[in-house]
């Protein structure tokens, strides 16, 4: 809708200038418009402004799409026929002319917004069918013609005009819904892309660890392969779901910790305390990014006294996760890599305005505090 408004802003600006210009010319006496026909004249001027300027603006498009050009030519020819019929009979409010003009406007709007017309054609034909019935009754069967001109004409004409703003508002609402759907689809696509980044990011590091064990012919390699297989299964099959149980996420984190314990020769103080409601559902693979960073940028930069302390709690629909680790300040930046940025983007997409992510970094420690409020 925004793109549509920007694209056709010139026509709107033209109409905004045209309508006051007509009123000014009427006021200074340059043109004379009967007071009871002012709205009709403004609408006719507006129509011809669009009818003439739009084909000129879209001339390159019309050259490439000859079918559309033929349809526009057919509509113009139909309009000319209506005007000839109306001038030939010289009958005020000629019923034949009114019917043909309604059909002309249907054709014009169908050319501009075919999907909208197809979707609401029953409503449109129904409301204009009732208007036509009332007009026919008022024009032909309500009594003498003078009585119609004095009493019924205004009401009959209003019935044709009232549906127009209703349909315009309905079209705006449809465009708003389409825009919301487009945003939702875009968010889903971005989220899917972020999930694909998690898998290679994690498994690349784990396969490097496994390689070092196989080179050394370590008897720990089979256990690492088994753990890695379990984690890959979870990541591939559970990771593509919108939500998983918090209990499964805890088990996944424990497997990751065990996998790293197998390969480390040094002593690492790893604490993972949790008090959760296992039935709570949460988006998968959120906490693993923080744990992986703690190992990669913390434990692996220290030769001794490395630690990782984690705590996970859940109360009703609130989840609180904290993780703290130390690191070597002379080593690489503890915030490097795509992991943390990935997490921030996923949280913004999945839990907008219902999460807080706080990062505290001192000279030797790094702490992340994540709170999520579930709906």
Which phi and psi (to 5°) does residue 369 adopt? Answer: -120, 120
Cβ atoms within 10 A of the Cβ of 239, count? 19
Query: Is the pLDDT at 29 greater than 80, yes or no?
Result: no
Query: Is the pLDDT at 159 greater than 60, yes or no?
Result: no
Query: Is the pLDDT at 262 greater than 80, yes or no?
Result: no
Contacts of 318 (CB under 8 A, 6+ apart): 371, 372, 373, 374
Q: Report how far Cα 158 is from the mean position of its chain's Cα atoms.
A: 37
Extents of the domains making up the chain: 2-179, 181-373
Burial of 303 (0-12, 13-18, 19+ CB in 10 A): exposed
pLDDT by residue (tens digit) across 76-115?
888 888 878 877 776 666 777 777 877 887 787 787 778 8
Distance CA 248, CA 231 (A): 11
Long-range residue pairs from 46-54, CB within 8 A, at least 24 positions apart, any chain: 46/15, 46/18, 46/19, 49/11, 49/14, 49/15, 49/18, 50/11, 50/15, 51/76, 53/11, 53/14, 54/11
Q: How far is CA 270 from CA 111, 176, 312, in A?
A: 68, 51, 14
In this prediction, residue 334 has a pLDDT band, given cuts at 50, 70 and 90, of very low
Question: How high is the pLDDT of residue 149?
Answer: 52
Do residues 253 and 288 lie in contact, with contact meaning Cβ atoms separated by under 8 Å?
yes
Whole-structure pTM value: 0.53
Give the best-scoring range by mean pLDDT among 42-56, 249-263, 321-335, 358-372: 358-372
Give the best-scoring range by mean pLDDT among 43-57, 90-104, 160-174, 223-237: 223-237
In this prediction, residue 142 has a pLDDT band, given cuts at 50, 70 and 90, of low
Question: Average per-residue pLDDT in the chain?
Answer: 77
Share of the chain above pLDDT 70, in %: 71
Where in the chain does DSSP place strands (E)?
244-245, 268-275, 281-282, 306-315, 318-326, 355-361, 365-373
Question: How high is the pLDDT of residue 298?
Answer: 87
**pLDDT: is 147 or 301 the higher one?**
301
Give the best-scoring range by mean pLDDT among 19-33, 108-122, 186-200, 340-354: 340-354
Distance CA 143, CA 162 (A): 25
Question: How high is the pLDDT of residue 190?
Answer: 62
Give the best-scoring range by mean pLDDT among 83-92, 143-152, 281-290: 281-290
**CATH architecture for segment(s) 181-373:** 2-Layer Sandwich (3.30)
Do residues 347 and 357 lie in contact, with contact meaning Cβ atoms separated by under 8 Å?
yes
Cβ atoms within 10 A of the Cβ of 40, count? 12
Cβ atoms within 10 A of the Cβ of 306, count? 22
Q: Please tell me what DSSP assigns to residue 230.
A: H
pLDDT by residue (tens digit) across 50-86?
666 766 666 776 667 777 777 878 888 888 888 788 7
**pLDDT: is 151 or 372 the higher one?**
372
Q: What is the mean pLDDT of residues 229-240?
A: 80
Per-residue b/e over 130-156, b at no fewer than 16 CB within 10 Å? ebbebbeebbeeeeeeeebeeebbeeb
**pLDDT: is 238 or 277 the higher one?**
277
Helix (H/G/I), strand (E/B), else coil: 240: coil
């Amino acid at each position: 809708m925004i793109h549509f408004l920007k694209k056709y802003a010139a026509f709107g600006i033209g109409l905004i200038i045209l309508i006051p210009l007509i009123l000014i010319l009427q006021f200074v006496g340059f043109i004379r418009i009967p007071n009871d026909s002012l709205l009709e004249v403004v609408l006719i001027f507006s129509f011809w402004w669009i009818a003439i300027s739009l084909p000129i603006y879209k001339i390159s498009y019309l050259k490439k799409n000859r079918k559309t050009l033929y349809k526009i030519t057919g509509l113009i020819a139909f309009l000319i026929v209506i005007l000839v019929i109306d001038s030939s009979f010289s009958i005020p409010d000629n019923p034949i002319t009114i019917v043909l003009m309604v059909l002309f406007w249907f054709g014009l709007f169908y050319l501009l917004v075919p999907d909208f017309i197809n979707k609401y054609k029953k409503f449109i034909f129904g409301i204009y069918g009732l208007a036509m019935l009332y007009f026919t009754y008022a024009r032909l069967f309500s009594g003498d013609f003078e009585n119609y001109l004095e009493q019924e004409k205004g009401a009959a004409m209003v019935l044709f005009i009232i549906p127009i703003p209703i349909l315009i508002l309905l079209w705006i609402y449809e465009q708003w819904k389409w825009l919301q759907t487009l945003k939702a689809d875009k968010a889903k696509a971005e989220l899917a892309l972020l999930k694909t980044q998690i898998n290679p990011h994690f498994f690349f590091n784990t396969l490097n660890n496994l390689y070092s064990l196989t080179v050394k012919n370590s008897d720990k390699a089979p256990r690492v392969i088994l753990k890695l297989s379990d984690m890959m299964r979870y990541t591939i099959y559970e990771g593509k779901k919108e939500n998983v149980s918090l209990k499964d996420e805890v088990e996944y984190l424990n497997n990751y910790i065990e996998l790293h314990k197998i390969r480390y020769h040094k002593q690492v103080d790893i604490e993972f305390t949790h008090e959760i409601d296992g039935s709570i559902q949460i988006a998968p693979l959120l906490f693993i990014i923080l744990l992986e960073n703690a190992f990669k940028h913390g434990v692996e930069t220290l030769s001794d006294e490395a630690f990782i302390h984690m705590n996970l709690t859940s109360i009703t629909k609130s989840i609180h996760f904290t993780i703290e680790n130390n690191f070597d300040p002379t080593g690489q930046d503890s915030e490097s890599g795509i992991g943390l940025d990935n997490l921030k983007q996923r949280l913004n997409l999945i839990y907008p305005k219902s999460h807080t992510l706080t990062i505290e970094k001192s000279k030797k420690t790094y702490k992340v505090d994540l709170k999520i409020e579930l709906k």
